[in-house]
Amino acid sequence: MLRFARVLLVSAATLVAGSSNAGAADGAAFLADLAGRWAGSGFIRTSATDAPGSTHCHLSAVTSGSSIDIEGACDGAAKGAHLAVVLRWNADLGQVLGTFQGGAETGSANLAGRIEGTALHMQVTSSSGTTSRLSLTRSGHQLSIVIAGKSQTTGKVVTWVQLAMTKG
């Protein structure tokens, strides 16, 4: 379960992406606005039955056209997870798509989602096939990230990751 939680944390911490519903140019512009450094803290749950542990993440994002490359690290309960993420705005689909590598995960996880107002809702699919739901809400230089999914051990929906990030 620790592996699953790290995968989710990495995806959550790096999903600093979204756009308005206005169109493709706005999706690319939104990604471009995310260039820079982000930092934040919150919690990660490594199993459905354990108490959540605190974590802190630092990210650096560089954009090119309608894509963004993000590198970073998380500590505390994330056990020093390093990450690399590529996200891109797909104008034809009206979606943000991407992959990430990092934490204890081997291979890449896939990310896909749509924008609803100021929130990006994505499905996270790990290389093992486990899926979860990520909600990202942005307000100015603040970002709220929540990942929830069904526990494979209990069958109940669990909030795996909750982070508050600030750009600056």
CATH number reported for the structural domain that contains residue 91 in this entry? 2.40.128.20
Mean pLDDT value across residues 98-108: 71
Produce one character per residue of 92-103: b if its CB has 16 or more CB atoms within 10 Å, e if not. Answer: eeebbbbbbbbb
Q: Give yes or no for residue 73 having a pLDDT over 80.
A: yes
pLDDT band (50, 70, 90) for residue 105: low
Q: How far is the C-alpha of 115 from the C-alpha of 89, rounded, in Å?
A: 11
Domain that holds residue 123: 2-167
Query: Which whole-number Å values give the CA distances from 90 to 19, 35, 37, 61, 125, in the listed order?
Result: 11, 18, 24, 18, 18
Start-to-end C-alpha separation, the chain: 33
Contacts 24+ apart (CB under 8 A), 69-72: 70/14, 70/16, 72/13, 72/14, 72/38
What is the rounded average pLDDT for all residues in the chain? 78
| Count of residues in the chain | 168
Contact, 35 vs 63, CB < 8 A?
yes
pTM over 0.85: no
pLDDT band (50, 70, 90) for residue 39: very high
Give the number of domains in the chain.
1
Q: What is residue 46's predicted lDDT score, i.e. its pLDDT?
A: 79
Contact, 8 vs 124, CB < 8 A?
yes
Q: What is residue 4's predicted lDDT score, i.e. its pLDDT?
A: 41
Give per-residue pLDDT as tens, 15-32. 443 333 434 457 677 677
Q: What is residue 94's predicted lDDT score, i.e. its pLDDT?
A: 87
Sole residue written with tokens 């934490």: 103
Mean pLDDT value across residues 77-90: 82
Of residues 40 and 105, more confidence is placed in 40
Q: What is residue 18's predicted lDDT score, i.e. its pLDDT?
A: 37
φ and ψ at residue 27, rounded to 5 degrees: -60, -45
pLDDT band (50, 70, 90) for residue 165: very high
pLDDT band (50, 70, 90) for residue 8: very low
Q: Give yes or no for residue 72 having a pLDDT over 50.
A: yes
Mean pLDDT value across residues 102-119: 74
